[in-house]
Amino acid sequence: MGTSLATDGSDRKKVLYTSLIFMGLGHIVRLKEWVKGIFFALIEVIFICFIPLICTKLYDLVNIGVDQSSITDASQRKMSTFMMIDGFVAIAFIAIFAVIYYISVKSALHSYEDYCVNGQYADNRDALRGISGKAFPIVGLTPALALIIFFVIVPLVFAAASGFTNWSNPDHIPPGGSVNWVGLENYIDMFGGNATWASSFGRIAIWTLIWGACATGTSYFAGMVMAVILNEAKIKIKPLFRAIFILPYAIPSILSMMVWKNLLNGSAGTVNRTLRAIGILGETQSIGWLSDSTMAKFTCILINLWQGFPYFMMLIAGQMTAISADIFEAAAIDGANKVQIFKSITLPMVLYQTIPLIIMSFTFNINNFGVIFFLTGGAPNVTSTTTTKAGATDIIVTWIYKLTMDDMNYKYASVLAMVVFVVLTPFAIFNFKNTKSFKEGEL
Amino acid sequence: MKGTRKHIVLTTILVIFLILISLIVLYPIVFVVSAAFAPGNTATGLSIIPFADGFTLDHFTYLFNETNFTLWFQNTLIIAICTSALSVIVCSLAAYIFSRFKFTLKKTMLMALLVLQIFPSFVGMIAIYVIINRMHAYDQLWGLVLVYVAGNVPYNTWLVKSYLDTIPKSLDEAARIDGANHFTIFSRVVLPIAKPILIFLAITTFTGPWMDWIFPKLVLGSNEKQTLALGLFSFVTDRKDQFTTFAAGALLVAVPFIFFFVITQKQQTESLGAAAVKE
């Protein structure tokens, strides 16, 4: 054991195997790096101490639906949902441990390479001194990683997993009832197995896509028109108009949506009364802005336009000023008129620059909870609403929200969330591929 | 001659068009301002002409004396400040390390951050509810802050990292030769240069919690712990119709918000452009 290692790299395997046997062993036995070795070994010892606990948690995760009726004291019964979350947290810990193990082996091999170059063991005093330096990345990353693991990754895994359980009202809600794994049942239901749910899903999915496209398209078009007008018009009070048009963007969306809801509400709503007062509607007529299924959809898109065009107006105006004046001058010298300049210079350039933002806006609108939820709340109801809770204007996000908060139908909510994810991922990847850091290969 | 006449006609049409759009844009805003000062309760009871119902400050006194409005405001402010401060600290530290250090699995971690950023936050909603309960953080402001900060990390770490990548590494090295350690370099050299992106990060993470509704609804239960969005919403539910009180509260929130927007508009509009692809 005391023999020194070969410096020609031939003992790489020795170091590798010793490191694999027990975390840190390679550092201690082969490389005489006591500080690092003991640190890694301690981690493994701590992990081994927790193995029984982790195993129970994993066992519980598999058997979340275990019959606990023999336990008379209800407060002593384990809740299926807690068993699930604990199980995934346990898996997270195993994963963290595996990563540290991997890092320790890598570190041992790295030290061996250094040894081959230097011909001598690293000084342990250096390791001690270097701790403030070497530990900095670890200490600095820990908060970010811990937050991401426990509040982003574990919830996502949990959410994906609940789609494979029967977690729903009324029989399978802890602590009263227990949840159990059911395989692909919910997915089969949603994609055709259960006629009511499948038809609701189809209806909502189509409307969600139409909504996403219309909401983005109308806002972009209107923003473009306003930007061009404000750019070209020779009016003195232009800044005033610009300030007014930006207002809907500056006001928190939830507030404006709730105001619009009250303005458009019912036949006695302010908008209907105003239309009657100025004679557009007859004395007894009223427009069912939010109460008619088709009209409500138009209203959603209209109100979203009210709120959404300033963003694109500002954006496009910014892009238009960024186009070099030389190009316009050259075009003007060549005898192009304003329409031609707009058509063949401004429009293509602006469009090209804003395509990623259009896509971002589309994915945002697909998930635009605020407008739909606070304006219509998914209403008006249709025939299947009593069973599936999906109203005429509900998009998938608001439907998920209703299923979760009002109906406690977590199993179907989870299936829907996964659908949204699968549909949106390609868009996100497309946008990512357009980012600067990706193109320059800095990743 | 003909050209100028055509021009005048065109300008007039444009001005009329702009005024028309302005009216539509301003309509709900003017209506809310008038409702906030109008006597009565419901929106349907108000005159269709703004400010025609008279003037009263009752709704404001009601908000401050008989509801938890000040508490809600305080809660929201605490949540927003903590979320903003923690997000800046956590994201800038992680971004600095991702930008300056080489370590095992770095690429994998960066990719993971990107993929995670795709997920809409509501996907994990149910699980966050369970975790919050498991941590005994239900109805606690800090629980909500944790949820917000965690949600901010993936995207904003990337944002700050991309910015830090543009700062020349020779600056760090010069400081290192002078004997500065990593933390000193981070806090004294890198952070001051990264100020614009950090200010942007602070602003966006500060405004986020003000009008979020989903997570406060999920995490906060009691009336004393609610945020402004929840509180204001409670005035105009199916069971209750206190539109004028809501309007007064909305005004108190929206005015500082617009003010804040005007002050920070430069940063916000710059960021809009920054999100676009730059060749």
Residue B273 falls inside a structural domain? no
Q: What is the pLDDT of residue B135?
A: 85
Torsion, Cα B27 B30 B34 B35, to 10 degrees, reads 60
| pLDDT tens digits along A292-315 | 889 999 999 999 999 999 989 988
> Bigger pLDDT: A317 or A127?
A317
Residue B114 pLDDT > 80:
no
Band of residue A51 on the pLDDT scale cut at 50, 70, 90: very high
A109, A140, A162 - which closes a domain: A162
> Bigger pLDDT: B273 or B189?
B189
| Together in a domain, A124 and A232 | no
CA B260, distance to chain mean position in Å, is: 11
| Together in a domain, A102 and A232 | no
Residue A418 falls inside a structural domain? yes
| Measured distance CA(B12)–CA(B6) in Å, rounded | 10
Q: What is the pLDDT of residue A309?
A: 93
Percentages of chain B per state (helix, strand, coil), in multiples of 5: 75, 0, 25
Residue B96 pLDDT > 80:
yes
Residue A188 falls inside a structural domain? no
Q: What is the pLDDT of residue B113?
A: 83
Taking an 8 Å cut-off on Cβ atoms, the answer to whether A404 and B43 are in contact is no
Residue A232 falls inside a structural domain? yes
Q: Which amino acid is at A121?
A: Y
Q: How far B226 CA lies from chain A's nearest CA (Å)? A: 16
Q: What is the pLDDT of residue A220?
A: 94
Chain A, 59-98: which have a CB under 8 Å from a chain B CB? 81-82, 84-86
Residue B175 falls inside a structural domain? yes
| Together in a domain, A295 and A204 | yes
Residue B75 pLDDT > 90:
yes
| Together in a domain, B86 and B17 | no
Chain A, 287-306: which have a CB under 8 Å from a chain B CB? 306
H/E run at residue B273: helix B243-274
Band of residue B188 on the pLDDT scale cut at 50, 70, 90: confident
Q: What is the pLDDT of residue B279?
A: 29
| Together in a domain, B121 and B201 | yes
Residue A189 falls inside a structural domain? no
| Together in a domain, B49 and B59 | yes
Band of residue B91 on the pLDDT scale cut at 50, 70, 90: very high
Q: What is the pLDDT of residue B267?
A: 64
Instruction: For B46, name the nearest residue in chain A, comparing CA atoms only.
Output: A270
| Together in a domain, B35 and B171 | no
DSSP letter string, A227-274: HHHHHH---TTHHHHHHHHHHHHHS-HHHHHHHHHHHHSSTTSHHHHH
For chain B, how many structural domains are there in total?
Answer: 2
Say yes or no: B275 contacts chain A, CB-CB below 8 A: yes
Taking an 8 Å cut-off on Cβ atoms, the answer to whether B131 and A150 are in contact is yes
Q: What is the number of CB-based contacts under 8 A between chain A and chain B?
A: 260
Q: What is the pLDDT of residue A395?
A: 92
For residue A238, count CB atoms less than 10 angstroms from its CB and return exposed for 0-12, middle for 13-18, buried for 19 or more. middle
Question: 3-class SS at A277?
Answer: helix
DSSP letter string, A41-98: HHHHHHHHHHHHHHHHHHHHHHTTT---TT---GGGSPPHHHHHHHHHHHHHHHHHHH
| Together in a domain, A141 and A246 | no
Residue B21 falls inside a structural domain? yes
Chain A, 379-438: which have a CB under 8 Å from a chain B CB? 397, 400-401, 404-405, 410, 413-414, 417, 420-421, 424-425, 428-429, 432, 434-437
Say yes or no: B55 contacts chain A, CB-CB below 8 A: no
> Bigger pLDDT: B30 or A74?
B30
Residues A146-164: what's their mean pLDDT?
A: 89
| Together in a domain, A318 and A224 | yes
Residue A99 falls inside a structural domain? yes
B contact test, residue of A103, A235, A238, A259 with most B CBs within 10 A: A259
Q: What is the pLDDT of residue A74?
A: 64
Question: 3-class SS at A183?
Answer: coil
Give A413's contacts in chain B (Cβ within 8 Å).
126
Residue A91 falls inside a structural domain? yes
| Together in a domain, A261 and A365 | yes
Band of residue A90 on the pLDDT scale cut at 50, 70, 90: very high
Q: Which domain holds residue A233?
A: 194-439
For chain A, how many structural domains are there in total?
Answer: 2
Residue B276 falls inside a structural domain? no
Mean residue pLDDT of chain B comes to 84
Residue B278 falls inside a structural domain? no
Band of residue B85 on the pLDDT scale cut at 50, 70, 90: very high
Helices H / strands E in chain B, number of each:
13, 0
| Together in a domain, A126 and A198 | no
| Measured distance CA(B173)–CA(B36) in Å, rounded | 59
| Measured distance CA(A162)–CA(B125) in Å, rounded | 12
| pLDDT tens digits along A195-220 | 888 999 999 999 999 999 999 999 99
* Contact present, A163 and A414 (Cβ < 8 Å): yes
| Together in a domain, A145 and A212 | no
Q: What is the pLDDT of residue A279?
A: 83
Instruction: For A318, name the nearest residue in chain B, comparing CA atoms only.
Output: B273
Mean residue pLDDT of chain A comes to 84
Report which DSSP code applies to B57.
-
Residues A112-141: what's their mean pLDDT?
A: 73
Q: Which two tokens stand for residue B6?
A: 């055509």
| Measured distance CA(B36)–CA(A59) in Å, rounded | 58
Instruction: Detail the DSSP E strand segments found in B121-210.
Output: none
Q: How far B207 CA lies from chain A's nearest CA (Å)? A: 9
Q: What is the pLDDT of residue B242?
A: 87
Question: 3-class SS at A284?
Answer: coil
Residues B213-239: what's their mean pLDDT?
A: 86
Q: How many residues does chain A have?
A: 443
Instruction: For B133, name the nearest residue in chain A, comparing CA atoms only.
Output: A82
Residues B198-220: what's their mean pLDDT?
A: 87
Please report where in the chains the tokens 């004393």 appear, as a residue.
Answer: B224
Q: Could you tell me what percent of chain B has a pLDDT over 70?
A: 93
Residue B167 falls inside a structural domain? yes
Q: What is the pLDDT of residue A212?
A: 94
Taking an 8 Å cut-off on Cβ atoms, the answer to whether A260 and B150 are in contact is no
Band of residue A2 on the pLDDT scale cut at 50, 70, 90: very low
Say yes or no: A280 contacts chain B, CB-CB below 8 A: no
Residue A38 pLDDT > 60:
yes
A117, A144, A162 - which closes a domain: A162
Band of residue A72 on the pLDDT scale cut at 50, 70, 90: low
| Together in a domain, A325 and A227 | yes
| Measured distance CA(A411)–CA(A161) in Å, rounded | 9
Q: Which amino acid is at B211?
A: M
Q: How far B61 CA lies from chain A's nearest CA (Å)? A: 20
B contact test, residue of A110, A138, A152 with most B CBs within 10 A: A152
Q: Which domain holds residue B23?
A: 1-66+242-262
Q: What is the pLDDT of residue A97?
A: 92
Band of residue B268 on the pLDDT scale cut at 50, 70, 90: low
Q: How far A319 CA lies from chain B's nearest CA (Å)? A: 8
* Contact present, A197 and A189 (Cβ < 8 Å): yes
Q: What is the CA radius of gyration of chain A?
A: 31
Q: What is the pLDDT of residue A117?
A: 82
Say yes or no: A19 contacts chain B, CB-CB below 8 A: no
| Together in a domain, B89 and B56 | no
Chain B, 204-243: which have a CB under 8 Å from a chain A CB? 210-211, 213-214, 217-218, 229, 232-233, 236, 243
Say yes or no: B15 contacts chain A, CB-CB below 8 A: yes
| Together in a domain, A103 and A52 | yes
| Together in a domain, B55 and B89 | no
Q: What is the pLDDT of residue A441?
A: 54
Residues B13-33: what's their mean pLDDT?
A: 91
B contact test, residue of A147, A219, A323, A401 with most B CBs within 10 A: A147
Helices H / strands E in chain A, number of each:
20, 0
| Together in a domain, B93 and B9 | no
Q: Name, of A14-18, A270-274, B121-125, B142-146, the range with top average pLDDT.
A: B142-146
Task: Determine if the peptide bond prior to B168 is cis (ω within 30°).
Answer: no
DSSP letter string, A285-341: ----TTTSHHHHHHHHHHHHHHHHHHHHHHHHHHHHHHS-HHHHHHHHHTT--HHHH
Taking an 8 Å cut-off on Cβ atoms, the answer to whether B127 and A159 are in contact is yes
Band of residue B273 on the pLDDT scale cut at 50, 70, 90: very low
Q: How far A24 CA lies from chain B's nearest CA (Å)? A: 16
Q: What is the pLDDT of residue A177?
A: 77
Q: What is the pLDDT of residue B175?
A: 85
Q: How far A7 CA lies from chain B's nearest CA (Å)? A: 24
Residues A70-75: what's their mean pLDDT?
A: 67
Q: How far B124 CA lies from chain A's nearest CA (Å)? A: 5
Residues B138-165: what's their mean pLDDT?
A: 89
Looking up residue A430, the CATH number of its domain turns out to be: 1.10.3720.10
Residue A98 pLDDT > 50:
yes
Looking up residue B205, the CATH number of its domain turns out to be: 1.10.3720.10
A contact test, residue of B130, B251, B264 with most A CBs within 10 A: B130
| Measured distance CA(B88)–CA(B149) in Å, rounded | 9
Residue A208 falls inside a structural domain? yes
Phi, psi of A282 (to 5 degrees): -70, 170
| Measured distance CA(B33)–CA(B47) in Å, rounded | 13
